[in-house]
Amino acid sequence: MWPVRWPGLRPILMLGASSMRLPDPSVDHLSSSSGERRGPQANPDKPADCVVRPVRRKTTIRVGSQRAPVDGIAEFPAITPIRSEARRPEGATSTVDAIAEEIPVALAYNGRQHAVMMTTPTDVEDFAIGFTLSEGIVSDTREVRRVSVGATADGIIAQISIPAATAARLSGENRNLNGRTGCGLCGVSSLRQAVRPVKPVSDRETVRLSAVRAGLAALPGQQNLNAIAHALHAAAWISGSGDVVALREDVGRHNALDKLIGAIRRPGSRAGEGFAIATSRCSYEMVHKAAAADISVLVTISAPTALALREAEAAGLCVVALARGDNLRIYTRPDRVCEDS
């Protein structure tokens, strides 16, 4: 394949997650309004990869029927044009395809690296907040004091500030994630960590069947990146009337859900009551993430796993799966989905 140029997009050189380098935690990357954010003790002789350059561009997502600006990282576009050779019965032709990117995103808590995940480079702040909540690092997003997102030559860095006691507990856990795109349990080193207790859902909201069907029908038209690249999952928050309130996309289903969780559970969010739809299967980890975010109804396009359903039942989470068109199956807590009167 050969990289080609489209207006506004440029190919990038991908480096492995194992080579991801975090900047010196003693350097303040949050102060200063200039492009290069160095702390007062920064050494100009340090390598360039110790400088975070959070250059941002504005992209858009759909929020209900409106289009709202969302910060993105300019150095790492979500879509890259790649030339391919199409083989058809009538012969071969050269074409240009829109290909989704996968970028290493390092998550560091109070200056200490915890995880490197492969993600689509959009809505990184939402991803950082959602991951922090869904992985049980904090129990409430108000514990996330600050998130700074920047880019280096190797990828993206999210520096997350949390209470010192929380960070100390986190540093004692034997888990250092180097996650593949679809990885939900990467870095887990024991069976006890892998099958951890699920958080009970406190929200007992019910949803109307017509709202579920309306949300499913509206979803494809609002997956802007997937419409171009055909390789991204989506997670959406649907209102009680079936409107798409917020939608996030990523090449990884767990990442898409984390981004959505960050968007709807961050302080000041006006997402309101509703339920989540994910364009993926319902796995054990998807159930845990939804429960950690106190989402009471999770709808997925594909089938669930048996473990996911056992965990959902224990958490009090309603799982609706194989939801395509007007057909769907309710596996747990069917009382949460009511017929229209």
Tell me the catalytic residues: 183
Single-letter residue type at 107: L
Q: Are 233 and 256 contacting, i.e. CB atoms less than 8 angstroms apart?
A: yes
Q: Are 296 and 203 contacting, i.e. CB atoms less than 8 angstroms apart?
A: yes
Q: Are 274 and 245 contacting, i.e. CB atoms less than 8 angstroms apart?
A: yes
Q: Are 144 and 163 contacting, i.e. CB atoms less than 8 angstroms apart?
A: no
Q: Nearest-CA neighbor of 74 among 157, 151, 160?
A: 151
Interatomic CA distance for residues 299 and 279, integer angstroms: 9
Single-letter residue type at 201: V
Which one-letter DSSP state was computed for residue 204? -
Tokens at residue 115, please?
């995880």
Where are the strands (E) in the chain, listed by range?
Answer: 2-3, 56-63, 66-73, 79-88, 91-100, 103-109, 112-119, 146-151, 156-161, 177-179, 207-208, 233-239, 244-250, 274-278, 297-300, 318-324, 327-332, 337-338
Q: Are 250 and 119 contacting, i.e. CB atoms less than 8 angstroms apart?
A: yes
DSSP helix/strand/coil, 100:
strand
Backbone φ and ψ of 50, nearest 5°: -90, 5
The alpha carbon of 262 is separated from its chain's Cα centroid by a whole number of angstroms, namely: 8
